[in-house]
Amino acid sequence: MTGGSQDDETGRERRDPDALIARAGVRGDPDQDQHFLVDDRVLDRLPSYATDAGFDTGHVLEIGAGTGALTDRLLAVADEVTAVERDPTLAAFLREEFADDVDAGRLTVIEGDALDVELPEFTCSVSNLPYGASSEIIFQLLPHERPLLVMVQKEFGERMAAEAGTDDYGRLSVTAGHYADVEVVEPVPKEAFSPPPAVQSALVRATPRDPEYTVPDDEFFLEFVTAVFTQRRKTMRNAVRNTAHISGLDDPDAVVDAADEELMGMRAGNVTPAQFAALAELAWEVGEPT
């Protein structure tokens, strides 16, 4: 799985992930959502998935840097890296292990929870995310309109990338697709991590682009989609009526009466993002959202 240090394509010696864990004197803690990526092959491919897609690696944001195995690979392709790590012991280790890069201004280590700290301006983000917080982190990053390459739970990644009419399609698909083209680029087995997680993982790439539709208000659109998907087994007619307390509509009946009858007979899992957008625009106009 892992081996000794090797040189990358730039001649920089790659740090061995197992050796980093040993030097840090730590073990991954599943209770703290700590699963260190230790497969050299996956680690070495990660930067390529970003650079091959044309990501601007001028300033790479890494969330959940751990012992720095991915940080090391990112420093080989980036002008500057900001690594966010919530574990104080690991944050201190990163500053010591990569002292030369810190001193050169190429690496900044931020200690704290990515959801709480002030994030810098960045050109792309490449991260092995803590799975428990991956949804919140991703949807904090997507509005920045910067490319993302993230390691997530495989099921979560497949839902992000799913299309209407498929089993995996849902609120997550519409919301992620509102900001970016999303694709699963590689499944990653449990054995690539130490300790192995209970689930399979996947690398997901999100490339920002404007949606092929317009909405009256981003926040309302996403809340409206979220609301309707809480009743995905109901027809859209019933879902719109039953979730006004979530979507904030004062007059959901007016929306149902004004909407296309065929659309109102569909279920959320078969409604395309563009259809959701058109319905949200109608709801904005006649539903009296608060």
Fold of the domain spanning 218-286: Helicase, Ruva Protein; domain 3 (1.10.8)
Q: What is the pLDDT of residue 27?
A: 87
Q: pLDDT tier at 83 (50, 70, 90 boundaries)?
A: very high
Query: Binding site residues for S-adenosyl-L-methionine, as ranges?
Result: 35, 37, 64, 85, 113, 128
pTM over 0.85: yes
Query: Binding site residues, as ranges?
Result: 35, 37, 64, 85, 113, 128
- CA 253 – CA 247 distance, rounded (Å): 13
pLDDT greater than 50 at residue 80: yes
Interval 226-272: pLDDT, tens: 999 999 999 999 999 999 999 999 999 999 999 999 999 999 999 99
Q: What is the pLDDT of residue 249?
A: 94
Yes or no: is domain 6-208 CATH 3.30.300.10? Answer: no
Interval 192-238: pLDDT, tens: 999 999 999 999 999 999 999 999 999 999 999 999 999 999 999 99
Q: pLDDT tier at 11 (50, 70, 90 boundaries)?
A: low
Domain ranges of the chain: 6-208, 218-286
Q: What is the pLDDT of residue 2?
A: 41
pLDDT greater than 60 at residue 96: yes
Say which residue, 6 or 186, is predicted with more confidence.
Answer: 186
